[in-house]
Chain A
């Protein structure tokens, strides 16, 4: 059961029902003890409302913002890079490769279906190193084996990723 004080605090805070509110108002009017306690609590309530807030140091906001700025600056570069920049670089390379291919194909003179008839001429004075020794039988074999292993490894990794994503 509520004490007089509890009832009066509820009345002051306005947290009781309209019926209770009315009953307490009547009690304050008629009962001297209620009226006295009510005045006492009302004065206390006004005093509590006058409490002062503490003042933080002058540089408080500056310190908070500086910490946030430092944290942002310390973020990994990967998270900071704008995806549009990456896309721009990719487009640049794609366009360059496309332009190079277009230029190369434009300079090929195909007669019939004889590919060996392609007439690609290097500028005068440019000499390519001899590739005969580089692409000998064993080197080519190892290169192909490495390619096959790499392709298998990448396919396996791709399939595993796909399987995990499906399970999630």
Chain B
């Protein structure tokens, strides 16, 4: 059962020495942090490593959290920097965000799954598949906007960008996602025929 206390109250308790309060914070944010890590790592093991690293970093610097922004915004900025460092280490090019021809080799999250049976797949499967094919920045912005309950200003703060830049990137990311979604669905239909 998750705690009913607010993030700020849990942080105060953690700083007072109550470690179980931090466990509650982790439980509350772990799904979203893990999803964001998946946008960069594309593999569950690496994503787990990134997400775990983020929560440990957040714990270490919890005392420096001023409370001027939402805890989630602060945490997502840690996720972003940790994931970028991870990508740099893995030598994956992430700065060519405008290169529409760049495709990342995706480790399928459903490997071993019968991909020919279209009837067993929901629309959300195709959506997640299309998101996996996006560049990490695009996938992160889309996820933060639709699932992170973050405004454009908060996304900009988390990613260390200008609000207008985020707005433009979100627009482009949505266009690319739409294209990928349409492309994947067409492919499936062709395979069925």
Task: Tell me, in angstroms, the Cα distance from A67 to B32 when the chains sit together.
Answer: 20
Report chain A residues within 8 Å CB of B147.
Answer: 51, 53
Known A-B contacts A9-B174, A64-B52, A68-B19; the reply to A51 vs B27 at CB < 8 A is no
CB-based A-B contact count at 8 angstroms: 80
Known A-B contacts A6-B171, A54-B47; the reply to A61 vs B127 at CB < 8 A is no
Interface size band for A: 20 to 34
A87 contacts partner chain B, Cβ-Cβ < 8 Å:
no
| A57 (CB) vs chain B CBs: closest residue | B48
Excluding A47-B123, A61-B23, 16 further A-B contacts by CB distance (< 8 Å) are A13-B152, A50-B124, A51-B146, A51-B147, A52-B124, A53-B34, A53-B35, A53-B147, A54-B35, A54-B47, A57-B48, A60-B30, A60-B34, A60-B52, A61-B26, A68-B56
Binding site for A on B (CB under 8 A): 19, 22-23, 26-27, 30-32, 34-35, 38, 44, 47-48, 51-52, 55-56, 59, 109, 123-124, 127-128, 131, 142-143, 146-147, 152, 167, 171, 174-175, 177-178
For this complex, 15 residue pairs linking A to B, each with C-beta atoms less than 8 Å apart, are A44-B178, A48-B142, A48-B177, A50-B123, A50-B127, A51-B143, A54-B31, A54-B38, A56-B48, A60-B34, A61-B27, A61-B30, A64-B23, A64-B55, A65-B22
